[in-house]
Structure 1
Amino acid sequence: MLELTMAMRDGDRSDFMDKPAQKFGTFGGVFVPNVLTILGVILFLRAGWVVGNAGLTEALMMLCIANAVTFISALSLSAIATNTKAQGGGAYFLISRSLGLEFGGAIGLPLYLAQAISVAFYVVGFTESVQYLFPNLDVRLFSLVTLALIGCVAWIGASLAVKAQYFILATLMVSLISFFVGFRVNEGWEDLTQPAYEGEQSFWSVFAIFFPAVTGIMSGVSMSGDLKDPTKSIPRGTLWAVAFTFVVYVMQLVWLSLGAERSELLGNALVMQSLSIAPPLIIAGLWAATLSSALASLVAAPRTLQALAKDRVMPRFLAKGKGPSSEPRIALVISALIGVLCVLIGDLNLIAPLISMFFLATYGAVNLVAALESWTSNPTYRPTFRVHWLVSLIGAVACFGIMLLLNPVATVLAIALIVVAYTVLARRAYRTAWGDMRSGFWFAVARMGLLKLYSSRQHQRNWRPAILVLSSKLKQNSQLLRFGRYLEANKGVLFLSHIIIGDWESSNDRQRALTRQLDDRIREEKMSAFSKVVIARDFEQGVTTLLQGAGLGNLQPNTLLIEWGSGWLRDSDFPRTVHQALEMEANLIVYSKAKEPESHLYPVIDVWWSARANGSMMITLAHLLQSNRLWGDYRIRILRIIKDEGGREAAEAGMAELLKDSRIEVDPVIVVSKGPPLESIACESARSAVAFVGVSVRTLEEEAGPLASYAPLVDSVQGHLFLTKNWHDLEL
């Protein structure tokens, strides 16, 4: 009830109003559609050919591999279906609500194409069987007429299709009984236990044609919107269908190998007729199987397309439905047209591998979803049918591995289609009204990483910038945020923060608004950042609260970045606050933006060497800045001031040793000057694009104000200036 209320509140009331009436049970809504789709054209027209090529041993091996993939996929499908209330769209609905709309849409499109192409596959199979009775039959014309008739049944609605399937199932069962009752053992059957592949055929090429025999488990779940209780019907009906059809196929392959010669298996697609006690019943069963499979696919495909359109993955007009069951008439026409195009190909052996690729991709995605859902252990993931994540992961790997073995080129094309679809959908920046498991996945990864980071040995060599950007005016700090990102350089993390001076009751609403504002900015500018807005009685409490509470474990802010001219810099508590921050092992960076465009300045990044810890930090920051594409062509200069020329040689030797340890390509510069150091820096770096300069603790407590002695330097330097202080040099 809560999920329904939330969805309606978020604007999805129309989807609930258009939902098909749920009226089918496990047997009629899942088991029968799955069985009729699985026991289709391959059973009657290609199973003999498979045995003739692969022999009984390898044919059974193919069946076991294919059925293992299907069985694991059915387990995964059951787990997901019992955790999520399935609606129209079947597998697409389940994938999109777990991995998100972008990934769901990327898989939903191949699934839809597989279902739509399957219609033509079964129609062509039906036509091929009719051609045996009428050799002069116009194959394409007959296929198109058949497709039109099936389309008319589907147009009337799923209810008629479900009612018709019981008669079709009865016909199919009678046909199979006539085949199995006609069991006999042919002389020389031992030879058929071993393979004898024709021409360029191989195990995997034959497997590719055989695999569609077991791709029917999506028929039931595609009707999920029409089921009374999807969470119970889908697992039961799907698993029973997989088990039942597996037994049927095992018996059929054994019967074929024992009762027919290899030449007959390879040359006669209707070899089952010669083994049946009532050959006409085989034709009836074949027609029933192919027509029912085509009908099931033509009922399922439009519903998948309709679900894609409801989520705006496809054009919205395709979501329109007719009547209380919201029959997807427009989507049905589109699916039928795709079927027409594939019918014109008219070759089962060309269509079958294509279907295999799309279904394997879908099965792989279903397994991947179940594995990730189980592994991340979201508290909301509580399926009544549980599957270990490793089982589902094995199924996913098997699906993608088999795709590569079947046809590497087709696999690359299928994956390319999925990637393109995902990229297009990701750029649309959907905002969905449901929660998917991606946040749970990243939570699990972050949790594992944070615990490993917490238990790992911390060393200065592993230092990464975790910069607490303290914004006084959120709308006016674009340059501060820009250089915060440059210094982070995708190697660390930013904490975009703001302090509200006041009490909780009067500032609570403002805190929420500012947090949303920061979050929107992070999302729009794609920053590697977190937002943090705190309420404090004064600046000192705000900074210390941020430094203590902004991170988690060892992922804590280690550098405080503030802008020159900021109101915080003039705060009376600023010196004491900075001193406390340094004692909390956080570095200080005060940033002054450039007064001229960067293109008018010298393309150099100056680092003025001071104390060793502070100097090393400035070199690292300069290197991080240079690693950005916009600053990649700027040279780094390490500058050191000496009093007289006589100390140049020693200074150069010391710089050379220092730079050897830094392993950064820089230009060492010795500046000889007897004047005040800040005047020398101002003169040398006046037109440098960037300059890093160290500061001392005592300058924070100058009578004229914090860092007042650096004001002339700030005024003189035309480029970007960073005044830095490393916490290791607290006493300097």
Structure 2
Amino acid sequence: MRGESGRAGFYNLAVVGDLIWEGECAMQVAFLFMEKPAQKFGTFGGVFVPNVLTILGVILFLRSGWVVGNAGLTDALLMLCLANAVTFISALSLSAIATNTKAQGGGAYFLISRSLGWEFGGAIGLPLYLAQAISVAFYVVGFTESVQYLFPDLDARVFSLGTLGAITVVAWIGASVAVKAQYVILATLAVSLASFFIGFQISDGWEARMEPGYEEGQNFWSVFAIFFPAVTGIMSGVSMSGDLKDPTRSIPRGTLWAVAFTFFVYVLQLIWLAMGSNRDALVGDALVMQTLSVFPPLIIAGLWAATLSSALASLVAAPRTMQALAKDRVVPRFLSKGHGASNEPRIALVLSAGISVICVWVGDLNLIAPLISMFFLATYGAVNLVAALESWTSNPTYRPTFKVHWLVSLVGAIACFGIMLLLNPLATVLAVALIVTAYTILARRAYRTAWGDMRSGFWFAVACMGLLKLYASRQHQRNWRPAILVLMSNLKQNNQLLRFSRYLEANKGVLFLSHIILGDWKTSNDRQKALTRQIDDRILEERMSAFSKVVIAKDFEQGVTSLLQGAGLGNLQPNTLMIEWGSGWLRDHDFPHTVHQALEMEANLIVYSKAKEPDSHLYSVIDVWWSARANGSMMITLAHLLQSNQAWQESRIRILRIIRDEGGREAAEAGMAELLKDSRIEVEPVIVVSKDPPLESIARESARSAVTFVGVSVRTLEEEAGPLSSYAPLVDSVQGHLFLTKNWHDLEL
């Protein structure tokens, strides 16, 4: 048994190592982002070796004994199988994605961003970078404490900073150093493990160590949470695809063989530890492997190889992740600047080293370690999610040579996020909060990527399934939702028309922003494309729930009928035509006949007249003038949709009805009460007694109301002075927003 100071020092290191996402940080590595050598690697050197070096690291040397001492061999092997099942599924998903997409600089960030999009990739990439940069400090501290075991009086902080400086110099020279060093590191680890396995002897009482003997405060899941990071780290070979002789063959084989080989190593190690040492030594001595080794110094050599290679690898990986993020403008572009033929990211290297210096100087990394674990688990979860969604959506361009069923990948994603909660619920919340914040910020920037991602495929699959379900469902008037075809006469204006069309849609339906080009197809084709792009830009800029539709027609009637017939899909068709009062379309000689045709096609009509005074100068009232039942019901629904917007929530709705004499008030009020009972909308009924023409009464009562809904008659469409000309005095008198409406059910009125 070792001295107390050495045991305490390494136990502290073990605590630090408990929650380090050792696998990913270890070799996501120089091998992920190294400059491309002229030689092409095979499966062994390009994939298998980097992955094995990633998985067999610090926790192998410092925590496996503690796990066996607490869990016993039976539970320890169960933990290994559970953890490796998650790693194996993630390896399957990774193989599928890697054989469909040629990975470039950025590793996991590249894969996720090119599949789930720039925003999601950036949201994962930023925490991933921080985890890599901070992990450098973890491994430096691990190396320092191993040296302290031999030199107890060593100043840990000074030595750690010196070690970090030396590693930074090596990283400054270039990532090619790591390529040359990987075989030396692998040989050192192999000799170290051989020394451990050869020195095996069965200890008395090994039968008792088959069963668990958890310390106070520990249980199966708490120990599993500590052990899980040891068996991860399968990203190393994926970015080697450009340097492999046959990437589609090497990545799946090399990754899966690495998972299988390291699983076999861990199985043997756990058995050796359980049968070769007593429980007190397993729990109390972090370097229990030394006591079982035929040549103990080789265990130290293996530990040093694991810590130094992991620290160097992380310091090479972090700047390259930052460089990839900067190239995509997730972070300032100057951080992407490279040096030399291999494009070494030295500015990002200095930034990464600075973060590591701060962490080394602070010293207490136990609070940060769980958060780092969350970031890397989130990365694996995202990879599984990408594979599941890509497979489920069945994008034609998703053709991996290594195929995995989407359900398998989905189980892997759920398992990753479940393990995050097992590791540390608070750290999980913090990690998710940071990722969501980053995603929100990036999404608001609305950056347009230069690559295609699978989101369009995902939404296509969802939309297709939804449209088919909608098409098969029974349509009923009570399920009516606004699908408004907004006919825009001037694309550079119509601000109020668009504003109120969005109010009426109220996130409950959909808008079709449309325009008609009168002319010949051959001469108007380019203009149609330009106007479509213009409308699309406006939709994206103003974040509207809308589609664009620009048609070329020989006349207005053909244009409207083409829009009504071709703007939607299945049952998702425009059900309301909205035009602005005063637009050129209203004065078109085909307008009356066109509206008749639209009503016969079961589309409602809304003619909007914008307010003449600011909303703040008007009464906060929405007036609905009741007329025919179908038209009145539609206006009440539109008023309710308008009121559901935040800008109109404080406005009250009035339902007004005109009667000729006071004697009819009681019957009118009873009818209104029955109507309002059916509408289930909080409104104020108003009976207006007047013998004046109806439009004059409406103009007088609603002169200063913020919004007024008025039904129109079909016959007014064909008035001699022009369509709806009898409503012109009303439009002039009403100072607020006016909607002239016609429900297609009242076509005969």
Task: Indicate whether the TM-score tops 0.5.
Answer: yes
CA contact under 8 A between 2:102 and 2:241: conserved in structure 1?
no
Given the two structures, how large is their TM-score scaled by the length of structure 1?
A: 0.94
Asked if residue 566 in structure 1 is aligned to residue 583 in structure 2, the reply is yes
Provide the C-alpha distance between the structure 1 equivalents of 2:349 and 2:255, rounded to a whole number of angstroms: 25
Asked if residue 64 in structure 1 is aligned to residue 78 in structure 2, the reply is no
Alignment correspondent of 2:405: 388
Alignment correspondent of 2:395: 378
Alignment correspondent of 1:445: 462
Q: Per the alignment, do residues 671 and 560 of structure 1 end up closer, same or farther by CA in structure 2, a change over 3 Å counting?
A: same
State the shift of 1:65 in Å.
2.2
Point out where structure 1 has 5 or more consecutive residues left out of the alignment.
1-17
Given candidates 484, 494, 501, the residue that maps to 1:467 is 484
Name the SS for the 1:217 alignment partner: coil
Alignment correspondent of 1:413: 430
Q: Per the alignment, do residues 607 and 378 of structure 1 end up closer, same or farther by CA in structure 2, a change over 3 Å counting?
A: same
- The amino acid that maps onto 1:388 is H
Alignment correspondent of 1:86: 103
Asked if residue 701 in structure 1 is aligned to residue 718 in structure 2, the reply is yes
Q: Deviations over 1:187-216 (max 9, x none)?
A: 111221222233433333333332221232
Q: Deviations over 1:349-391 (max 9, x none)?
A: 6665343222111111111111111111111111111111111
Q: Deviations over 1:239-269 (max 9, x none)?
A: 2211111111111011100100011112221
Higher mean C-alpha displacement, 518-527 vs 251-260: 518-527
Q: How does 1:308-347 map to 2 (within 5 A)?
A: 308-344=325-361
CA contact under 8 A between 2:35 and 2:176: conserved in structure 1?
no
Name the SS for the 1:474 alignment partner: coil
Q: Deviations over 1:83-135 (max 9, x none)?
A: 11111111111101111111101101222222223323333222333332223
Q: Per the alignment, do residues 558 and 100 of structure 1 end up closer, same or farther by CA in structure 2, a change over 3 Å counting?
A: same
Higher mean C-alpha displacement, 594-603 vs 360-369: 594-603
Asked if residue 520 in structure 1 is aligned to residue 537 in structure 2, the reply is yes
Provide the C-alpha distance between the structure 1 equivalents of 2:571 and 2:251, rounded to a whole number of angstroms: 46
Q: How does 1:235-384 map to 2 (within 5 A)?
A: 235-344=252-361, 352-384=369-401
Provide the C-alpha distance between the structure 1 equivalents of 2:369 and 2:697, rounded to a whole number of angstroms: 78
Name the SS for the 1:723 alignment partner: strand
Alignment correspondent of 1:11: none
CA contact under 8 A between 1:495 and 1:557: conserved in structure 2?
yes
CA contact under 8 A between 1:367 and 1:392: conserved in structure 2?
yes
Q: Per the alignment, do residues 248 and 350 of structure 1 end up closer, same or farther by CA in structure 2, a change over 3 Å counting?
A: farther
CA contact under 8 A between 1:607 and 1:639: conserved in structure 2?
yes
Provide the C-alpha distance between the structure 2 equivalents of 1:340 and 1:211, rounded to a whole number of angstroms: 28
State the shift of 1:460 in Å.
0.5
Provide the C-alpha distance between the structure 2 equivalents of 1:193 and 1:408, rounded to a whole number of angstroms: 30
CA contact under 8 A between 1:153 and 1:161: conserved in structure 2?
no
Alignment correspondent of 2:138: 121
Q: Per the alignment, do residues 474 and 315 of structure 1 end up closer, same or farther by CA in structure 2, a change over 3 Å counting?
A: closer
Alignment correspondent of 1:186: 203
Given candidates 518, 536, 556, the residue that maps to 2:553 is 536
State the shift of 1:223 in Å.
5.1
Alignment correspondent of 2:608: 591
Asked if residue 36 in structure 1 is aligned to residue 59 in structure 2, the reply is no
Provide the C-alpha distance between the structure 2 equivalents of 1:230 and 1:22, rounded to a whole number of angstroms: 16
Given candidates 404, 407, 414, the residue that maps to 2:421 is 404
Q: How does 1:431-442 map to 2 (within 5 A)?
A: 431-442=448-459
Alignment correspondent of 1:14: none
Asked if residue 688 in structure 1 is aligned to residue 701 in structure 2, the reply is no
Provide the C-alpha distance between the structure 2 equivalents of 1:24 and 1:345, rounded to a whole number of angstroms: 42
Q: How does 1:101-140 map to 2 (within 5 A)?
A: 101-140=118-157
Given candidates 562, 565, 577, the residue that maps to 1:548 is 565
- The amino acid that maps onto 2:587 is R
Asked if residue 644 in structure 1 is aligned to residue 665 in structure 2, the reply is no
Q: How does 1:591-630 map to 2 (within 5 A)?
A: 591-630=608-647
Provide the C-alpha distance between the structure 1 equivalents of 2:364 and 2:45, rounded to a whole number of angstroms: 31
CA contact under 8 A between 1:592 and 1:721: conserved in structure 2?
yes
Higher mean C-alpha displacement, 23-32 vs 277-286: 23-32
Higher mean C-alpha displacement, 561-570 vs 286-295: 286-295
Provide the C-alpha distance between the structure 2 equivalents of 1:161 and 1:603, rounded to a whole number of angstroms: 71
CA contact under 8 A between 1:88 and 1:224: conserved in structure 2?
no
Name the SS for the 2:237 alignment partner: helix
CA contact under 8 A between 1:640 and 1:669: conserved in structure 2?
yes
Given the two structures, how large is their TM-score scaled by the length of structure 2?
A: 0.92
Provide the C-alpha distance between the structure 2 equivalents of 1:355 and 1:418, rounded to a whole number of angstroms: 12
The root-mean-square deviation of aligned C-alpha atoms, in Å, is 1.9
Number of residues paired by the alignment?
A: 715
Q: Per the alignment, do residues 157 and 699 of structure 1 end up closer, same or farther by CA in structure 2, a change over 3 Å counting?
A: same
Provide the C-alpha distance between the structure 2 equivalents of 1:650 and 1:46, rounded to a whole number of angstroms: 85
State the shift of 1:597 in Å.
1.8
Name the SS for the 2:236 alignment partner: helix
Q: Per the alignment, do residues 530 and 84 of structure 1 end up closer, same or farther by CA in structure 2, a change over 3 Å counting?
A: same
State the shift of 1:529 in Å.
0.8
Alignment correspondent of 2:16: none
Q: Deviations over 1:563-618 (max 9, x none)?
A: 11111111111111111100100001111111222222221111111111000000
CA contact under 8 A between 1:691 and 1:722: conserved in structure 2?
yes
State the shift of 1:503 in Å.
0.8
Q: Per the alignment, do residues 682 and 621 of structure 1 end up closer, same or farther by CA in structure 2, a change over 3 Å counting?
A: same
- The amino acid that maps onto 2:349 is L
Alignment correspondent of 1:712: 729
Higher mean C-alpha displacement, 343-352 vs 616-625: 343-352
Q: Per the alignment, do residues 95 and 709 of structure 1 end up closer, same or farther by CA in structure 2, a change over 3 Å counting?
A: same
Asked if residue 195 in structure 1 is aligned to residue 212 in structure 2, the reply is yes
Alignment correspondent of 2:113: 96
Name the SS for the 1:278 alignment partner: coil
Provide the C-alpha distance between the structure 1 equivalents of 2:248 and 2:344, rounded to a whole number of angstroms: 22
Higher mean C-alpha displacement, 313-322 vs 81-90: 313-322
CA contact under 8 A between 2:371 and 2:430: conserved in structure 1?
no
CA contact under 8 A between 1:604 and 1:636: conserved in structure 2?
yes
Provide the C-alpha distance between the structure 2 equivalents of 1:106 and 1:164, rounded to a whole number of angstroms: 33
Name the SS for the 2:340 alignment partner: coil
Q: Per the alignment, do residues 345 and 244 of structure 1 end up closer, same or farther by CA in structure 2, a change over 3 Å counting?
A: farther
Q: Per the alignment, do residues 348 and 587 of structure 1 end up closer, same or farther by CA in structure 2, a change over 3 Å counting?
A: closer
Name the SS for the 2:464 alignment partner: helix
Point out where structure 2 has 5 or more consecutive residues left out of the alignment.
1-33
CA contact under 8 A between 2:634 and 2:743: conserved in structure 1?
yes
Asked if residue 634 in structure 1 is aligned to residue 638 in structure 2, the reply is no
Provide the C-alpha distance between the structure 2 equivalents of 1:195 and 1:352, rounded to a whole number of angstroms: 27
* Identity score, percent: 86
Higher mean C-alpha displacement, 287-296 vs 51-60: 287-296
State the shift of 1:28 in Å.
2.4
Higher mean C-alpha displacement, 108-117 vs 36-45: 108-117
Q: Per the alignment, do residues 633 and 594 of structure 1 end up closer, same or farther by CA in structure 2, a change over 3 Å counting?
A: same
CA contact under 8 A between 1:87 and 1:93: conserved in structure 2?
yes
Given candidates 50, 58, 62, the residue that maps to 2:67 is 50
Name the SS for the 1:218 alignment partner: coil
State the shift of 1:662 in Å.
0.1
Q: Per the alignment, do residues 117 and 236 of structure 1 end up closer, same or farther by CA in structure 2, a change over 3 Å counting?
A: farther
Alignment correspondent of 2:516: 499
Higher mean C-alpha displacement, 584-593 vs 168-177: 168-177
CA contact under 8 A between 1:614 and 1:724: conserved in structure 2?
yes
CA contact under 8 A between 1:219 and 1:300: conserved in structure 2?
no
